Amino acid sequence: MSKIGLIMGREIKSKLSNKTFIVMTLLAPLLITGFLGLIIKMSMDDKTEQRVLVIDDSHVIADKLVGNDYTSFATSNEKLDEAQLSFSKKNYTCLLYIFPGVLNSSKGKVKIFYKKSPGLFFQESLKNQLEKVIYEGQLKSNNIDVNVINNAKISVDIITQKIDENGYNKDDSHFGFLGFIIGALMFMFILMYGMMVFRSVMEEKTNRIVEVIVSSVKPFELMLGKIFGVAVLGVLQFCVMGIVTFVLTTILSTFFMKDLNTQFDKFTQQQELVKKNGTNVDFKKLTNFSDKVETFEIMKKIKGINIPLLLITFVLYFVGGYLFYSSIMAAIGSAVDSESDSQQFITPVMIPLMIGYFIATKTITNPDSSIVFWGSIIPFTSPIVMMSRINDNTPVWEIALSLGLLYVSFIFTTFLAGKIYRTGILMYGKKTSWKEIGKWLFYK
């Protein structure tokens, strides 16, 4: 046993002394939070100030444009070419020209002259406003009451609530798309560390040091030491990444998302109020941040995640799934001489993982389907699929069964992998086939 410890120690140390590994561990959370921040930033309003000078040759739109905190409209009666000439001297950021026949064609046109390119967000909000103004203008010119149309449009909100045999009644806390992301993360982790074992085994084989080592330890011990070493490394890396991500996102949310958080709190208060009173009120009308409802819904899901459950099951499934696949990867690594030969063996191993990944996409649309259920029980796919569907309501027996099966089959795959590994690491020069590997299982 102490020898397995030695091997684990070397495996961990060799990776920790690798600069790329350290950089990746720290960089990944940075990238994740950066990406998150970017999404949030993009979902927030474009706050560049825009002072727009409007020249309206249709004479029906300009006075209906409404500015906000950072967009202001001013109307001018100048001719377009005059305005264009004097524009550069004036204190406006854009010149908006509305063509005369804008109401009469099916595709209305406006033109923006600018000093600094106006952002896409500004263009999008301007487009929305123009369309709204034109829409209402068209209705009015046809003597249709805008309110009638608006009242006829009733938005329906679906509030999901689950009732099971025990009368257990709670908000369905299914994570939907987030669940899939967690499943995809699991896929990535298992593959990444599986490949790490694969490379480490192959490196020892191509280095030819392996024969020296197996004259001191049993090949099986060497393989286990390697697998466990990388497992420790994986959990360690996962923890470091988790902590760094947590710290970074906390910083991000306290310093850069303060407004968003307070707005979010207001939003949830309003939502609660609506629920309690049972009135059929459109949230979008209630809140003055209607454009952020989607963002808030996602935030609500994130805040609703049972973090301890998720972390514990993630680690358990990661370790189980990793052990299951890494022993297969070790066997394959022992069978090949060079990276270029390895593809034919890695692909078949990737397939069940890919299937798991695709079943995980199913959990977004249909989390209670039988393919998702079986996918989350069968060891080949269970780490990915279960992690994508797990929530507070997942029956404990399902988790226990799937974890149990996973760990039992790990012992089985490791046993078989050990047999292949033992022979494979000492085979040089020959191109290995699956048939050959099959034979190795029966060598004494």
Partner 1 sequence: MSILQVNGVSKKYSNHVALNNVSLTVPEKSIFGLLGPNGAGKTSLIRIINQITGPDSGEILLNGEKLNQKHISQIGYLPEERGLYKKMGVGEQALYLAQLKGLKKADAKKKLEYWFEKFEMQTWWKKKIEELSKGMQQKVQFIVTVLHEPELLILDEPFSGFDPINAQLIKNEILELRKKGATIIFSTHNMGSVEELCDNIALINKSEKILDGSVKEIRKTYRTNTYKIAFKGNVMGFTNALWTGGEVLEKVTEDDINYFTIRIAKTITSSQLLQAILPTCELVSFNEIVPSMNDIFIMKVNQGNEILGTKSNYTE
Write out the residues near partner 1 by the rule CB under 8 A: 3, 6-7, 10, 14, 204, 207-209, 211-219, 422-423, 426, 428, 439, 443-444
Could you tell me which of 323, 317, 309 has the C-alpha nearest to residue 376?
317
Nearer to partner 1, 147 or 215 (CB): 215
Here the tokens at position 427 are 């085979």
The least CB distance from residue 230 to partner 1, in Å, is: 16
Of 241 and 425, the one with the shorter C-beta distance to partner 1 is 425
Instruction: Tell the smallest beta-carbon distance from residue 25 to partner 1 (Å).
Output: 19
In the complex, the smallest distance separating the C-beta of residue 343 from partner 1, rounded to whole angstroms, is: 24
- Closer to partner 1 by CB, 205 or 389: give it: 205
Q: In angstroms, give the least distance from the CB of 202 to partner 1.
A: 13
Q: In angstroms, how far apart are the furthest CA atoms of the chain?
A: 96
Q: Which residues contact 128 (CB under 8 A, 6 or more apart)?
A: none
Cα-based distances in Å from 1 to 9, 203, 420:
12, 23, 21
CB of 197 to partner 1, least distance (A): 16
> 350-366: string of b/e by CB count within 10 Å (b at 16+)?
eebbebbbebbebbbee
Name the residue nearer to partner 1 (CB basis): 217 or 401: 217
Between 18 and 86, CB nearer to partner 1: 18
Give min distance, CB of 393 to partner 1, in A. Answer: 49
- Residue pair 111/97 in contact (Cβ under 8 Å)? The answer is yes
**Both tokens assigned to 34:** 């950066």
In 3D, which of 391, 374, 372, 395 has the Cα closest to residue 164?
395
- Nearer of residues 219 and 320 to partner 1, judged by Cβ: 219
Instruction: Please report where in the chains the tokens 């209402």 appear, as a residue.
Output: 136
Question: 201 or 384, CB closer to partner 1?
Answer: 201
| C-beta closer to partner 1: residue 14 or 123 | 14
Cα pseudo-dihedral 71, 77, 78, 79, rounded to 10:
100
Instruction: Provide φ and ψ at 390, rounded to 5°.
Output: -65, 140
CB 360 within 8 A of CB 290: no
Distance between CA 383 and CA 322 in Å, rounded? 9
Q: In this structure, how many other beta carbons lie within 10 angstroms of the beta carbon of residue 332?
A: 26
Q: How far is the CB of 193 from partner 1 (least distance, A)?
A: 19
SS3 101: coil
User: 10 vs 362, which CB is nearer to partner 1?
Assistant: 10
Cα(378)–Cα(382) distance, rounded to whole angstroms?
5
Q: Which is nearer to partner 1, 22 or 217 (CB)?
A: 217
CA nearest neighbour of 50 among 129, 149, 117: 117
Minimum separation from the CB atom of position 429 to partner 1 (A): 10
Question: CB–CB of 349/331 below 8 Å?
Answer: no
Is the CB of 225 or the CB of 383 nearer to partner 1?
225
Listing DSSP states for 248-310 in one string gives HHHHIIIIISHHHHHHHHHHHHHHHHHHHHT----HHHH-S-GGGHHHHHHHHHHHHS-HHHH
174 three-class SS: coil
Across the chain, how many H-helices and E-strands are there? Answer: 17, 6
Q: At its nearest, how many Å lie between partner 1 and the CB of residue 207?
A: 4
Q: How far is the CB of 215 from partner 1 (least distance, A)?
A: 4
Nearest-approach distance from CB 444 to partner 1, in angstroms: 5
Instruction: Tell me the torsion sign for CA atoms 198, 202, 205, 207.
Output: negative
If the CB atoms of residues 219 and 321 are measured against partner 1, the closer one turns out to be 219
Least separation in angstroms between CB 340 and partner 1: 19
